[in-house]
Homo-oligomer: A and B are copies of this chain.
Amino acid sequence: MSANLNTTHARLDLGALKTACAACNLREICLPAGLSPEEIDKLDHLVYVRRKIKRGDALYRAGTTFEAIYAVRSGFFKTRVTTQDGRDQVTGFSMAGEILGMDGISHDEYTCDAIALEDSEICTIPYSQLEKLSIEVPSLQRHFHKVMSREIVRENGVMMLLGVMRAEERLAAFLLNLSQRLSARGYSPLEFNLRMTREEIGSYLGMKLETVSRSFSKFQADGLIAVDQKYIRLQDIDGLREIYAHHTR
């Protein structure tokens, strides 16, 4: 049903939904980064359709056959892996310009779920066509490799978080990382609304939601941040950095 609605919708205003990377304000951050205008033009000729994902819906799920990677056009996603017994681990949060689905390449099916945390729009990049175009456009190949490599490096960082840092350090790192990414997209680095619940933050950071909540309260008591539900204002960035850097167990 939902699929039907989407299709209908896509037919109604196909023009509007067909993305033009060339006209997209994310092109410096997203997959086209570093491509010449002519090359971006070629990328635009790929089937590159925008699609809306409602809050709570999945962009893809673990086990689904892999056919495309996705660029977040607007909105916010989490990715998570789930064990046999139902516990799950949030492996990342993705915002505009970031690429999702690369986990699917290895075994031709996705290995995690990508869930929209707010109503979102994504651009679909069929993998087989990306492969073909990569042969024609070496700088696209190179940039795609960089995007994958960056994901590996990001995950190394998360392993560091989870492996050696304690609760408050993890949360400080998380806030600083969010701040930096928002800033890179033109939003205020000092105040923002969280899109995820305490539980999701906790899952990402390897701690329980109560611990997340307590750490927020502690930060607020210490004057580092102001918290009002999902709204966060960073009041003392250097203080946060100090906590983050202090992995002295």
Contacts and interface: CB of A to CB of B under 8 A. Distances in A.
Contacts of A249: 87
A164 B203 CA distance: 8
Q: Which of A138, A157, A164 has the most CB of B within 10 A?
A: A164
Contacts of A158: 155, 159
Interface in A103-119: 103-107, 111-112
Nearest to A104: B149
A164 B206 CA distance: 6
Contacts of A159: 81, 89, 91, 155, 158-159, 162
A131 B84 CA distance: 38
Contacts of A102: 148-149, 152
Interface residues of A, number: 48
Contact of A85 (B145, B157, B248): B248
A214 interface: no
Contacts of A153: 103, 106-107, 111
Contact of A106 (B150, B205, B206, B245): B150
Nearest to A163: B206
A247 interface: yes
A55 interface: no
B146 A105 contact: yes
A83 B160 CA distance: 9
Q: Which of A112, A134, A159 has the most CB of B within 10 A?
A: A159
Contacts of A149: 102-106, 148
A142 interface: yes
A204 B159 CA distance: 9
A170 to B, nearest CB: 11
